[in-house]
Each structure stands twice: as C-alpha cells, then as structure tokens.
Amino acid sequence: MPLRRSIALFKSSGGPISLAYKQRVESGRINLDQNQLSLSAALDSLYSNLSSPDSDRFLIPDGQLQYAARYYGGSWVLSMNNFADIAWAKVHSFIYTPPKGVYIYGSVGVGKSMLMDLFYETCKSGFASNTAQYYPIKRKCLRCHFHEFMLDVHQRIHEYKKVHPRADPIPPVAAALAKEARVLCFDEMQVTDIADAMIVKRLITLLLDLGVTIVTTSNRPPSGLYEGGINRSVFLPFIDTIKERMEVFEMGGDHDYRRDSFESNTDLSTYISPSHDPSTQTILDQWFSRGSGETRSETVLVAMGRSIHVEKANDSCGWFTFNELCNKPLGAADYIAIANRFSIIIVEKVPQLGGNTYNEARRFVVLIDALYEAKTKLIITSDVSREDLFVGFDASVATNDGDEEIAIDDSNIQRESVVVGEGGSSSSMSTTMIRTANNGAMEWSATGRIGVSLAQLSSVKEVSFSFMRAQSRLSEMAASHWGRER
C-alpha cells in the first residue's frame, strides 16, 4: 500500500492504541511503520474486548480464585467444605471464555515493547485525544520484564514451600498473581532453563484458566520457546496452549529503530575503547563523581535473603570490573538489585564475548536487560568497539526423534532428568542442578559433551537473539537523554 494512502487510512480510523501511536508519529518521535500499525489495530481489538460492559461479568471473584486454581491445577480434594466452590469452578470452566491475549514476536528494535507499553498505559490510565475519550479498564494490570516476573514467582514458591514443604505451590501462586492483576504484560519472554520451563508451562496455563489476559513480547515464535531444551517434549503442550489461547502476532521487518535514535553523549563517553587509553581513568572518575557522596564499599540486598558485595560505590554509582559481575555465579536477581540500587553503573574491562565465554556473555546480556528496564546509565570500558563486542556462535543439537532434545553423552545421567530443589536461570540461583541415575546431583552447565555445556546447546539460538538485543539496547542506552533521576 502506498505510504500516502496508508497515512490517510491511519488518520481516519483506529482505537486508543492506534491513536496514541498516531500522536507519536505526528509529533516526529517515531516513523510510521506498517507492521507497528497492524499491531496497534490488534491491541485496539483486545482493549475493546477488555473494556466492553459485559467483559467482567464472568470473571472469577477474588475470593474464589484459590478454589478455581486448585480445580484447574488438578490439586483439589473434594469435601463437604469446598463442594460448592469446586462445583462453581467446574461450571465456570464451561461458561466463560476470557479474551485472548497477544503473543508478539519479531526481531530486535522493531517496536514490540513500545506498542505493548502503549497498550498497558491505555488499559491502566486511559487515553484522550481531540476526538475521543477512552477510559481505563476495570481490571487490574501489571507490566514487568519476564526476568522480574520469574524472579517474583521463584520468591513466592520459595516462601510457600517453607510453610508447606509437601504441597504443590503452583495453584496458590497462580491464584495470588491473578488476584493482583487480571491483565499481565511481559517484556522479552524467553525460556532456556529446565526449572523455568516446567514452572512456566503450568503457571501460565493456570493463569489463562483463571481468566488472566496475557500480552507478551519475545524474540522467538512460540515454536522456538525452549528450543533444544532438555526434556522439551514435556514442554511442547504449552506451545500448543499459546497458539490456541493467544493471538500470535509476528512483527515483520528487521529495521532496528533503537539505532536510529542513537546520539552519543556530548560531554562524556559511555563506551570507552580502548580501555588502557590514558584518558580512560579520568573519564571513569568523572562519571563516578556524578554519583556524589563518599566513596565506600557496601552490601546490596538481593531476593531470598541473599546479598552482593560492591567494592566501590557512592550514593548513586556502583563501580565494578567485568569479572566481579559476570565471572561469578550471579543471576537475574543480583543484576536487578544492582540496577535498582544505582542510577549509574561502571563496568571495566569487558572482553569480546562469544562462544568461548558463553556463561560470562549470557550473564552480561542479563545484566544489560536489568539495567535497561531500570533505566540505569551504563558505562563500559573495553579493548574492542561496541560493534565488535558480541561475536555470534553456534552449537549442534543431537536428536533421536526429531524433537530437538539434547542427546547427553554422560552415562551417569538418566534420560528423564529432574530439577533438584529450587532454582532456574531466572531465580536468585545462577544454575540448575539435576539428579543423576546414581542419585547424585550435578550442575546443569556441567553436563555437556565435546566441551560444550548443555546450557549452551539448549539456549544457543536464544543467546544469538539476546546478543542482537543487547547490541541494540547498548546503542539506545548511550544516548545523552538516557537514564533516570538519581
């Protein structure tokens, strides 16, 4: 369709998300993109469904959620005390079909998160233009990065298991989440860890059963989630659930709009290369001084009672070496805590990252995601340019049945490996332990073959996408306007 005609159609129609998008286009903040326009229309339709007068008629009341969760989760026990509640949940499963959420996938920087955020803001606060008024929906809404969501889920499971060590934690956790928000918006959904895979499969399905509407972005299509993961066949029914119960929207195009908006700082560089340049220390000292306050070491509290030591910090800036952050068993919880504590982060001596530094690279990508979500200023020193920081790599995945499961050569590991204790790539633990055939336990990333870890094999394609996302975000984070108030 010619651009002039598409603009004319755009101006003549659309719901609140399309109108909010139109305002950004007309103000010059963004350029008109046909794929973004199509997604705006899809999100308009979902907003319309959620805001219709009858949309909340059959919502499960907050007081019934725990019973419905037990029923849908398969962990209910019928008794005289809960007969009416269980019967109500069963009837409800036949009479109510909640609005379908939207699963948005596509390349990095194409506008997925921007439009999901417009949808979230409209649902929560409404939208007004010169010609129309759209009100907030009645349902409670929550928006978060998927890392943060899974961290919160692991925390809830941990707390529940302390009190009920033998009980199934997923139904009560799902009920609590549904009570807090009936519309969930996730940014960057990804599943690369067996512990997270098993939790996500049950929890998201149960949330959908409870009538929660989910909108999520991802770099992967549903069929690519947990690709190459151990015991993936157990996860496959969840992919079918996404396809059946959510609208799957592919954001076409591969133009990275984040790079268009890049403008370097006029006063101080945020990416300093080479790191051994005589001026590097001076620039870092200037950035550190912007944090104000006395130089000191401190301890930052992390979820589940953990903490991380910061050797050099002041009121608003934390100064680290790459090895301190990424060559240690740290995970998303640690990086989120650091990002929330400091408005400026300095990371020195970042090496070129690729297959030979897989675990360190994976942690660095998670760090960038955490800093990006918190709008924390990131200062990097490296001996390679920003464009050469990440080097793509690949690994092979063996299969016996066409299901792309990992073929594990170590004979000590049973075929159906299971998670021991708590953990997962999104939890405060950095690795997952699996039980071996002789009842021992070993670290997931230590179960590889031919010198390549199972973690590499199960998530290599995801990490490839993550590298592109990290490059894109580094460009945006280098802009002079990037950051939050100290």
pLDDT digit string, tens, across residues 98-154: 789 999 999 989 999 999 999 999 999 999 988 889 999 999 999 999 989 998 999
pLDDT digit string, tens, across residues 450-468: 333 444 444 555 666 688 8
Dist CA 317 CA 458 (whole Å): 36
Per DSSP, which regions of 196-263 are E strands? 213-218, 246-251
CB 11 within 8 A of CB 22: yes
Dist CA 458 CA 220 (whole Å): 14
pLDDT digit string, tens, across residues 267-286: 678 999 988 888 999 999 99
Q: What is the pLDDT of residue 88?
A: 54
Average pLDDT over residues 466-483: 87
In sequence order, which residues have a C-beta less than 8 Å from that of residue 44 and are 6 or more positions away?
A: 14, 15, 16, 17, 18
Helix or strand run (H / E) with residue 377 = strand 377-382
Dist CA 172 CA 9 (whole Å): 47
Residue 374 has pLDDT above 90, yes or no: yes
pLDDT digit string, tens, across residues 416-442: 333 334 445 554 443 444 344 444 443
What does DSSP say about strands 141-145 and 296-302: parallel, antiparallel, or unpaired?
A: unpaired
Q: What is the pLDDT of residue 347?
A: 98
Peptide bond into 222 cis (omega under 30): no
Dist CA 326 CA 361 (whole Å): 8
In sequence order, which residues have a C-beta less than 8 Å from that of residue 15 and are 6 or more positions away?
A: 41, 44, 45, 47, 48, 134
Half-sphere exposure of 263 (CA within 13 A, CB side): 6
Q: What is the pLDDT of residue 393?
A: 56
Residue 166 has pLDDT above 50, yes or no: yes
Dist CA 20 CA 115 (whole Å): 9
Q: What is the pLDDT of residue 98?
A: 79
* Average pLDDT along the chain: 80
Helix or strand run (H / E) with residue 307 = strand 306-313
Dist CA 30 CA 40 (whole Å): 14
Helix or strand run (H / E) with residue 175 = helix 170-180
Higher pLDDT, 219 or 465: 219
- Planar angle of CA 352, 321, 389, nearest 5 degrees: 15
Q: What is the pLDDT of residue 454?
A: 44
Q: What is the pLDDT of residue 73?
A: 77
* Residue carrying the six token digits 């075929």: 415
pLDDT digit string, tens, across residues 395-419: 444 444 444 333 323 333 332 333 3
> Is the alpha carbon torsion for 39, 40, 42, 46 positive or negative?
positive
CB 468 within 8 A of CB 108: yes
Half-sphere exposure of 13 (CA within 13 A, CB side): 9
- Planar angle of CA 106, 477, 183, nearest 5 degrees: 50
End-to-end CA distance of the chain: 46
C-beta atoms surrounding 403 within 10 Å: 11
Dist CA 325 CA 141 (whole Å): 33
Average pLDDT over residues 22-46: 94
The two tokens of residue 349 are 């001596």
pLDDT digit string, tens, across residues 52-84: 887 777 788 888 888 788 877 776 554 445 555
- Calculate helix-pair angle for 65-73, 194-209, nearest 10 degrees: 120
What is the chain's Cα-based Rg?
A: 24
